[in-house]
Structure 1
Amino acid sequence: MDKFVTRSRAPVEEQEVELGNLPADPGLRIPISDYHPNLKDKVRRAYLQKGACQPSHNFKKRKIENLLRRFNLNWFNEYKLWLEYSVEKEAAFCLYCYLFKSDNKQSGDAFVKEGFDAWNKKERLDLHVGGPNSGHNQARRKCEDLMKQNQHIDVTLNRHSEQIKNEYRIRLGASVDCLRFLLRQGIALRGHDESDGSINQGNFLEILKFLAAHNKEIDGVVGKNAPGNLKISSPDIQHDIVNASAVETLNYIIHDLGDDLFAILIDESRDISVKEQMIVILRYVDKRGHVIERFIGIAHVPNTNAASLKVCIDSLFAKHGLSISRIRGQGYDGASNMRGEFNGLKSLIMRENESAHYIHCFAHQLQLTLVAIAKNNVHVGSLFNMIANLVNVVGASCKRRDILRDRQAIHIYEALAIGELASGHGLNQETTLKRAGDTRWGSHYGTLLSLINMFESVIDVLDTIVDDGPSSEQRAEASALLEFVQSFDFVYSLHLMKNVLGITNELSISLQRKDQDIVNAMKLVKLSKLRIQMLRDDGWDDLLAEVSMFCEKFNIICPNMEDNFQMKGRSRRKVHQVTNIHYYKVEFFYGVLDMQLQELNTRFNESNMELLLCMSCLSPNDAFAAFDKKKLIRLAQFYPNDFSSVELMMLGNQLGTYIFDMRSDNEFLILNGIAVLAEKLVQTKKDMVYPLIYLLIKLALILPVSTASVERAFSAMKIVKSRLRNRMGDQLLNDSLVTYIEKAVFDGVLNESIIQRFQHMKNRRGQL
């Protein structure tokens, strides 16, 4: 959390302030007078650039004169530039007076210290503004003068000609263009030595040189042709431009969200410098009815317990003027600190907002179910353990990997020669064994496929290690692996798990789509259960034939299914004698699939099934066959902050008209999925005809299906903060990730907006 969360009267030293992390909530700020004199104007300018803190919030009601009253959201429109609201104190404040009124002796004003909460006396707002010479208007004029750099004394003493201003704008625009290119690619900005004459000045200066070499106008104002004190290329300048770019990108996202409802997707992971980082992503429905997921920030969290994460979220929300009261969904990976019933993050948020319903990541649940539960079977557990060892042994050195590639190329050539493989563009490309990872969904399936595809080549590499291994330990390990992978039990387990994971692979990938809706996700999970049940009922003969064919191809001995099963690694006195077919079909095949089905039913019943079943009634599939008026009214009752008792009665009548309208319109009868329905309602402007129903649809779309966007953000973090850039600060990391991950939004940010924000960050030598 920010270091400025309590009102401390100790002076703030100059080096302690991070302008990008100033608390936005007026109830959490320290007085301007507590800042170092050299910092006051910088802090004021930073707050003025952010603008007044005006969160979309379920404002707390307070009993005044026997009536419940609260802050009126419309006051923000009437007093847009200065009126602020503190979620922390549930009171209103004045931005102008906070920044400058403490300099005169009227700092006791309620709009500066304790806040204004007399909601029945709206006239007090106009009284606070007062006449032309009131304290408020004096503070306002000081704020306006602060942002007019042309009036500053250092600028007045050093007037710039129009030519100098034009050159400065060209120079600054070139720097912004260079950094825009680097940020979009996630490329490092700085080099080892940026001084003149260095051969490793870094990407920024190299691209600036390249740009100058191909543009005479730029070449005339940068590098050696720029004033010595106004090159606009120092590391501090680079970081300021990056920060300005990130802020403008985030402003676009927050503006696009507006005061709408949203869900949060959160996870934490270590970066390359072993710092725990928490990523926050918002999911909402935009004005066109599209489901949007946007990255809004990364924060260093020294402690990953739920309370610390909640404090960090509060700080981030206050920074961007967001409110927990607007959350309508939470999506996590299922870790105990996230989903704990009493002290988990989801519980802490739901105590403040009962409508912030939690959904365990669907794709993550599939991964946990299909792999972790299957490992409870001894042979399946041995399969994945041995595969992990196999990948380590075969890929232990470059030499062994080269042998694997060469042997695979030879086998592919021989298969092509006898017609076992087809040739064509993109077929039979070079591959290698894939390493499975518990945090990479679907990676186990890819590992099994690559092993089956390269089985003969893997055997060849193990044979080579047994014959020519550098040590007896390595030769013994390779010999044990060679014996295990050429056993019927290994081949049987390998193909069984390949079929089980293959059933849900496409479904898992589909669940990771950003625009996936919760109703369709439930149908996909239901389809997974159905296909696994079909495999259990009718898949044994096909599996046995597939395994037998594989064993025959690679000379692996298949047991006679009528013989007694010989259990390895167990005392034979304790083993109940059964036939091979009984063991492999009943105890192994049925046992693994029954565990899968039981776990799928258990895990996907953990969520509020009544909520999800009610949402399924919104589906337009099969001419709105799932429509149920009572269940949709019940769905609205899950969101008491969005539907009043009067609106619930109105919803019943609106639903009757709505379903008649939908079923009589051919454009809506052919729709599939709630996401498509939302877009169509906006296109036909029926979202305004049926506002309550459209709100229900948005609430269904907001609920997150998976945390795939968070996982993608962690992948981006590894690119931006790499081993060679492991000293990158938290602020620069956050700014770089915003522009890199949300490059589509960043592309729409004008250079002029970035330049103006950069220019107003502090007093600049150059003037526009």
Structure 2
Amino acid sequence: MDRFFKRKSSSVVEDVDREKSNSVTFDITQLPTDPGLRIPILDYDVNIRDQVRRAYMQKGPCQPLDHDFPYRPFGQTQTRRFNPAWFKEFGSWLEYSVSKDAAFCLYCYLFKTSVGKQGGGDAFVSEGFSYWKSKDRLNIHVGDHDSAHNKARIKCEALMNQEQHIQSAFFKQSKQVRSDYRIRLTASIDCIRLLLRQGLSFRGHDESENSENPGNFLVLLQFLGDHNDEIKAVTMNKAPLNCKLTSPDVQKDIVSACAAETINAIIKDIGDSFFSILVDESRDVSTNEQMSIVLRYVNNSGQINERFIGLEHVSSTTALSLKAAIDKTFSKYNLSLSRLRGQGYDGASNMQGEFNGLKSLILKENPCAFYIHCFAHQLQLALVAVAKKNTPISNFFRLVADVVNIVGASSKRCDHLREKQANIVAKALENGEILSGRGLNQETTLQRSGDTRWGSHYNSLISLLAMFSAVIDVLEMISVDGSNSDQKGEAYNLLESILSFDFAFNLHLMRTILAMTNELSKALQRKDQDIVNAMELVKLCKQRLQSFRNDGWDSFVQQVYSFCQVHYIDVPNMDDMFIRRTARGRPQRQAPEITYLHHFRVDLFCAVIDMQLQELNDRFSEANTELLLCVACLCPKDSFSAFDKKRLIQLAEFYPEDFSSVNLLTLDDQLETFIFNMRSNKEFEGLKGLGDLAEKLVMTKKNIIYPLVYKLLTLVLVLPIATATVERVFSAMNIVKDRLRNRMGDQWMNDSLVVYVEKEIFSNIDNEVIIQRYQNMKNRKELL
């Protein structure tokens, strides 16, 4: 025998190699068909012995050609013929060595069984059995049930049985122990589910048994046990000391399993669909730079989804660093950059740089990943630009910020403001000036404005208008009863400034303009918004601003006059001459002579609106105008009145990787049938946007009938509109990682944030799936 094999049993390794020879490799598919060749089973490694035998039984009596063991056809030697059918008849114990031309017993050889003269003495163990005339000797060697051969067989089968391995035997558990472990693990997962959904902390400062506040996780687990006897019997102090499943490592492993299954559900939902990427950066409470990645795609039901797949900590915010982080995420989740069809970022130079920005780096690898500037950020940038470019408006916003700061500087002043406002509301209700009802006249306070929060300027101005009388009272109180002269002087100056016609005029002007754009801003933040509706909203916003500029002056100025009359603000005579003044208050030299009417209507009213219109036109033209015009041709409104086949073919040409020249010809014919079907089908009447069209096509299974049209529609729908979802992620990040949890690691925060943001998907994941992933993450002390 040239080579046997090694087997491992507990800590003992039995090396049963004899007469060492080189290991032989072979290709089963290349087995020769010559029936005169032998099978050198024992001359091969144990890992391939069974493969050789199975292949042999399938192809017939043959053996692989092997140069180390040159075969000798039967008839040219004095060796007797070994019947290949014996392998099948006597099972797995029979082994044959081509070099010795003899058969051996695997069981007896493995356990060095000495059978004396039974079954041919040691022939099947030492020198080998080669007396081929007597087949009965094989049966004699097997013997009855208590023969040495069968005893060796039982030992070998036990050795091969994984469940009888020493490690399995060591960890062998009763059904009750496994049941208790499952109950305990399920209870911990249920507690973690609640904490993750609410974004709550897990641990306390003192988690000892005598602690009055050991943390949310332990308190919730105790509460769960107090209301469930089955859980109480196996958790907390009733659990084994080495398997309580309450340690921080166990908590992190369970959260990691929850996040992994949530991401898997998202990736599975994406499938092989096209998608776009939305990226933004922000610092967490520990001043670590975090990059949020969101994917926008159309699922199998035709619904538009934007899903958060994770945070990446980036030490540098250069375009190359961000690109490397995106590549790492794509590799981690097996996402292909070739399926990317859109990019959405804010206005940062490292994102939208023409040559070295993130968008340019991705476009070099995938030219079809079209970049669309965030519409909502464009809108906010336009509003901020107005505040910075127009000096009176910039000064107005500075005054608003100062008023909010000084009135809300202390809790005493805030309480006084609420008290004053409550008295004003009560008086107005008594006089019938305002109506009462559910949700009306609720207690409020001044809101701070900010350049990075959409709609915050508008909310700040609305609150100031609603509480203007109360704000005046509080400023008067501070100017008289302030703790020092600086506070008194600052309050007096602010009171004098806001009780001017200029402030009242600018307050109503900016409130009206921001009210028009606020509706657009909110609409653009919807997750299911499509690019056609977005462009229509932008167009509507421009039309409202233009109409307000042309025809809204008279009604607007009357509104300002009424406000000034209520609050005793002096109104200048519009026909008087207006004196322009420098920053120091001196009259401006050689200034043109203009009236107050010209100043307020031309220099402020028309100028501010013109700046808004110009800013909107400039910002929204950054997107590929031709692409957007082609997209609008798919809009289903008014029975597909905007349908234009030439434009849609042109749109398909933007995606050469998805529409070949043959596909374009097919699409041309398919569009003709598609539009005729749509206009004659009542099911497609009343659709409002591309999203509704996609869902209806899937619902009626017409996406199968018109596959190229549906592909074109999905390519349009994945184009990003706004980075609102990314902004929501950063808002959630401030909840999950707050000032008291500022030492959270990046992985711990990422896992918690994925589940918190995508709680809708996480709610549909069964506990059993999480349990199995948790068990497979590493070797556990308990088995299921």
Q: Compute the TM-score of the two structures, normalised by the length of structure 1.
A: 0.80
- 1:162 counterpart residue number: 175
Deviation of 1:669 (Å): 3.0
**Which amino acid is 1:688 matched to?**
I
* Residue 594 (structure 2) pairs with residue 578 (structure 1): yes
Measured against aligned partners, the alpha-carbon deviations of 1:479-508 in whole angstroms (never above 9, x if no partner) come to: 111111011111101100111011121221
- 1:50 counterpart residue number: none
- The correspondence for 1:751, drawn from 753, 757, 767, is 767
Measured against aligned partners, the alpha-carbon deviations of 1:447-497 in whole angstroms (never above 9, x if no partner) come to: 111111111111111111111111211111111111110111111011001
- 1:249 counterpart residue number: 262
* Superposition pairs of residues 61-460 of structure 1, within 5 angstroms: 154-460=167-473
- 1:524 counterpart residue number: 537
Structure 2 Cα separation of the partners of residues 511 and 451 of structure 1: 26
Unaligned runs of 5+ in 2: 1-22, 25-46, 53-160
Deviation of 1:574 (Å): 3.4
- 1:533 counterpart residue number: 546
* Residue 723 (structure 2) pairs with residue 723 (structure 1): no
Where 1:265 maps in the other structure, the secondary structure is strand
Deviation of 1:197 (Å): 1.9
Where 2:702 maps in the other structure, the secondary structure is coil
Q: Does the 8 A contact of 2:387 with 2:397 survive in 1? A: no
Where 1:593 maps in the other structure, the secondary structure is helix
Q: Does the 8 A contact of 1:374 with 1:592 survive in 2? A: no
* Superposition pairs of residues 586-597 of structure 1, within 5 angstroms: 586-597=602-613
Q: Does the 8 A contact of 1:328 with 1:355 survive in 2? A: yes
- Which entry has the higher C-alpha Rg, 1 or 2? 2
Deviation of 1:196 (Å): 2.1
Deviation of 1:329 (Å): 0.8
Deviation of 1:680 (Å): 0.5
**Which amino acid is 2:547 matched to?**
M
- 1:464 counterpart residue number: 477
- 1:16 counterpart residue number: none
**Which amino acid is 2:503 matched to?**
F
Deviating 4+ runs (over 6 angstroms): 129-132, 148-152
**Which amino acid is 1:652 matched to?**
D
- 2:644 counterpart residue number: 628
Structure 2 Cα separation of the partners of residues 748 and 204 of structure 1: 22
- 2:567 counterpart residue number: 554
Where 1:263 maps in the other structure, the secondary structure is strand
Structure 1 Cα separation of the partners of residues 169 and 574 of structure 2: 96
**Which amino acid is 1:173 matched to?**
T
Structure 2 Cα separation of the partners of residues 374 and 524 of structure 1: 23
Measured against aligned partners, the alpha-carbon deviations of 1:47-101 in whole angstroms (never above 9, x if no partner) come to: xxxxxxxxxxxxxxxxxxxxxxxxxxxxxxxxxxxxxxxxxxxxxxxxxxxxxxx
**Which amino acid is 1:620 matched to?**
P
Q: Does the 8 A contact of 1:624 with 1:669 survive in 2? A: no
Where 1:574 maps in the other structure, the secondary structure is coil
Measured against aligned partners, the alpha-carbon deviations of 1:26-52 in whole angstroms (never above 9, x if no partner) come to: xxxxxxxxxxxxxxxxxxxxxxxxxxx
Structure 2 Cα separation of the partners of residues 585 and 207 of structure 1: 63
Deviation of 1:371 (Å): 3.2
Structure 2 Cα separation of the partners of residues 647 and 223 of structure 1: 65
Q: Does the 8 A contact of 1:271 with 1:721 survive in 2? A: yes
Q: Does the 8 A contact of 2:386 with 2:393 survive in 1? A: no
> Across the two proteins, how many residue pairs are aligned to each other?
633
Measured against aligned partners, the alpha-carbon deviations of 1:78-133 in whole angstroms (never above 9, x if no partner) come to: xxxxxxxxxxxxxxxxxxxxxxxxxxx99xxxxxxxxxxxxxxxxxxxxxx99976
Structure 1 Cα separation of the partners of residues 168 and 532 of structure 2: 61
**Which amino acid is 1:281 matched to?**
V
Structure 1 Cα separation of the partners of residues 550 and 220 of structure 2: 63
Q: Does the 8 A contact of 2:344 with 2:720 survive in 1? A: yes
- The correspondence for 1:649, drawn from 647, 662, 665, is 665
Q: Does the 8 A contact of 1:394 with 1:462 survive in 2? A: yes
- 2:39 counterpart residue number: none
Indicate how the Cα distance of structure 1 residues 333 and 216 shifts in structure 2: closer, same or farther if over 3 A, else same: same
Where 1:687 maps in the other structure, the secondary structure is helix
Identity of aligned residues (%): 58
- 2:703 counterpart residue number: 687
- 2:113 counterpart residue number: none
- 1:544 counterpart residue number: 557
Q: Does the 8 A contact of 2:276 with 2:720 survive in 1? A: yes
**Which amino acid is 2:172 matched to?**
R
Q: Does the 8 A contact of 2:579 with 2:587 survive in 1? A: no
Indicate how the Cα distance of structure 1 residues 152 and 337 shifts in structure 2: closer, same or farther if over 3 A, else same: farther
- 1:705 counterpart residue number: 721
Indicate how the Cα distance of structure 1 residues 479 and 650 shifts in structure 2: closer, same or farther if over 3 A, else same: same
* Superposition pairs of residues 34-73 of structure 1, within 5 angstroms: none
Deviation of 1:423 (Å): 1.3
Where 1:573 maps in the other structure, the secondary structure is coil
Where 1:268 maps in the other structure, the secondary structure is strand
**Which amino acid is 1:692 matched to?**
L
* Residue 732 (structure 2) pairs with residue 732 (structure 1): no
Structure 1 Cα separation of the partners of residues 48 and 341 of structure 2: 40
Deviation of 1:149 (Å): 10
Deviation of 1:601 (Å): 1.0
Deviation of 1:571 (Å): 3.5
Deviation of 1:155 (Å): 4.0
Structure 1 Cα separation of the partners of residues 407 and 380 of structure 2: 26
Q: Does the 8 A contact of 1:374 with 1:596 survive in 2? A: no
**Which amino acid is 2:772 matched to?**
Q
Q: Higher RCO, 1 or 2 (CA under 8 Å, sep at least 6)?
A: 1
Indicate how the Cα distance of structure 1 residues 241 and 629 shifts in structure 2: closer, same or farther if over 3 A, else same: same
Where 1:717 maps in the other structure, the secondary structure is helix
Structure 2 Cα separation of the partners of residues 217 and 623 of structure 1: 61
**Which amino acid is 2:183 matched to?**
I
Deviation of 1:641 (Å): 1.3
Deviation of 1:154 (Å): 4.1
Measured against aligned partners, the alpha-carbon deviations of 1:505-541 in whole angstroms (never above 9, x if no partner) come to: 1221111110000011000000000000000000111
Q: Does the 8 A contact of 2:678 with 2:684 survive in 1? A: yes
Deviation of 1:413 (Å): 1.3
Q: Does the 8 A contact of 2:343 with 2:372 survive in 1? A: yes
Deviation of 1:670 (Å): 2.2
**Which amino acid is 1:212 matched to?**
G
Q: Does the 8 A contact of 1:374 with 1:595 survive in 2? A: no
Higher mean C-alpha deviation, range 148-157 or range 314-323 = 148-157
Unaligned runs of 5+ in 1: 1-104, 107-128, 135-147
Q: Does the 8 A contact of 2:388 with 2:394 survive in 1? A: yes
